[in-house]
């Protein structure tokens, strides 16, 4: 099955509203009718409404960087799945390593967020990945399997098709260290085997698995050349329009 590369930029807690809107306008103009690549950006919550308006009808996806696990209620300061859906988001990052490690988000909480996202037709970009310590202890597969098992508990085959999995080794995020393309490919292959066992080969083959961790224009080509890598989740290099566009350009040749 041929899949268009899916390239998503995670802005994290960066850019101003003006910069974000300008970026979105320029991205829209630059991509115009190009459709070899599916593109998305993850602005801060407070920019989502404006940026969704700028990108409406463009085919460029907008993802929230997080949601709460409950549909609504007394959760001061939190944002629900339906709220981000209502302003026009198509996707949401769930289980990003910064949420897991800085905010102590556990697999059960992540699982509840995935379920609430799916319940309002918001597509989760579900992040998994091992720490450096875990990799050095040769526990990568064990960690990924546990994160997949916990995060996807109770999710049906129909719904799995709406999930994107992002393999993001924690030691490669924001550090400038990228996984060797072959090493990343091996973990992607492991993830796809897990999905095959749980949900069948067709579902596994249609699943998008992105790589994330210090992706730059210089390494995007080698990563995208790997057969199991369907797209990229880009942090630091997605904040500058030029480098993000270069990555999109490189991906369009794969």
| Closest C-alpha among 71, 90, 97 to residue 12 | 97
Contact 65, 51 (CB under 8 A): no
Measured between alpha carbons, how far is 187 from 210 in angstroms, rounded to an integer?
Answer: 11
Does 212 bind ligand PEP (CB under 6 A)? Our answer is yes
Does 107 bind ligand PEP (CB under 6 A)? Our answer is no
Give CA separation, 213 vs 34, 49, 109, 118, 221, in Å.
Answer: 26, 27, 23, 26, 14
| Neighbour-count burial for 98-113, b at 16+ CB within 10 Å, e otherwise | bbbeeeebebebbbbb
Does 234 bind ligand PEP (CB under 6 A)? Our answer is yes
CB closer to ligand PEP, 199 vs 209: 209
Ramachandran angles phi, psi of 186, nearest 5°: -65, -40
Does 214 bind ligand PEP (CB under 6 A)? Our answer is yes
CB closer to ligand PEP, 66 vs 214: 214
12 is known to lie in a ligand binding site: yes
Residue 101: active-site member:
no
User: In the numeric block, which tokens belong to residue 236?
Assistant: 């630091």
Does 243 bind ligand PEP (CB under 6 A)? Our answer is no
Contact 114, 105 (CB under 8 A): no
Q: Which of 5, 60, 235, 248 binds ligand PEP (CB under 6 A)?
A: 235
CB closer to ligand PEP, 20 vs 236: 236
236 is known to lie in a ligand binding site: yes
Minimum Å gap between C-beta 41 and ligand PEP is 12
Measured between alpha carbons, how far is 203 from 163 in angstroms, rounded to an integer?
Answer: 11
Catalytic residue selected from 91, 96, 159, 188:
96
Does 174 bind ligand PEP (CB under 6 A)? Our answer is yes
Measured between alpha carbons, how far is 89 from 192 in angstroms, rounded to an integer?
Answer: 26
CB under 6 A: which stretch of 74-82, 182-190, 213-221, 246-254 binds ligand PEP?
Answer: 213-221
Does 95 bind ligand PEP (CB under 6 A)? Our answer is no
CB closer to ligand PEP, 130 vs 168: 168
Give CA 72 to chain center in angstroms.
24
Measured between alpha carbons, how far is 110 from 116 in angstroms, rounded to an integer?
Answer: 10
User: For 95, how many CA atoms within 13 A lie in the half-sphere containing its CB?
Assistant: 33
Give CA separation, 25 vs 20, 51, 105, 106, 205, in Å.
Answer: 9, 9, 34, 36, 34
Q: Which of 173, 191, 209, 250 binds ligand PEP (CB under 6 A)?
A: 173
Residue 19: active-site member:
no
Minimum Å gap between C-beta 45 and ligand PEP is 16
151 is known to lie in a ligand binding site: no
Measured between alpha carbons, how far is 122 from 94 in angstroms, rounded to an integer?
Answer: 11
Catalytic residue selected from 105, 130, 168, 188:
168
Binding site for ligand PEP (CB under 6 A): 10, 12, 168, 173-174, 212-215, 233-237
Would you list which residues are annotated within the binding site?
10-12, 174, 214, 235-236
Known binding-site positions for substrate:
10-12, 174, 214, 235-236
- Which residues are designated catalytic? 96, 168
């Amino acid at each position: 099955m041929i899949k268009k590369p899916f390239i998503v930029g995670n802005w994290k807690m960066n850019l101003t509203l003006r910069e974000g809107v300008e970026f979105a306008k320029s991205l829209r103009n630059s991509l115009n009718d190009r459709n070899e690549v599916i593109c998305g950006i993850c602005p801060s919550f407070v920019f989502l409404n404006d940026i969704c308006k700028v990108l409406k009808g463009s085919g460029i996806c907008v993802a929230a960087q997080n949601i709460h696990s409950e549909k609504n209620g007394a959760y001061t300061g939190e944002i629900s799945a339906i709220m981000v859906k209502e302003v026009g988001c198509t996707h949401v990052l769930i289980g990003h390593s910064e949420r897991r490690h800085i905010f102590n988000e556990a697999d059960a909480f992540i699982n509840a967020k995935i379920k609430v996202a799916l319940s309002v037709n918001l597509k989760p970009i579900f992040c998994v990945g091992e720490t450096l310590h875990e990799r050095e202890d040769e526990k990568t597969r064990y960690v990924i399997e546990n994160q997949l098992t916990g995060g996807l508990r109770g999710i049906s085959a129909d719904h799995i098709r709406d999930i994107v999995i992002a393999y993001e080794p924690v030691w490669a995020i924001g550090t400038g260290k990228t996984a060797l393309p072959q090493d990343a490919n091996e973990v992607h292959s492991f993830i796809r085997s897990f999905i095959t066992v749980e949900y069948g080969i067709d579902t596994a083959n249609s699943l998008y698995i992105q790589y994330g961790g210090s992706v730059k224009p210089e390494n995007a080509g080698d990563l995208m050349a790997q057969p199991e890598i369907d797209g990229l989740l880009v942090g630091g290099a997605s904040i500058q329009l030029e480098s993000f566009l270069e990555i999109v350009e490189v991906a369009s040749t794969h």
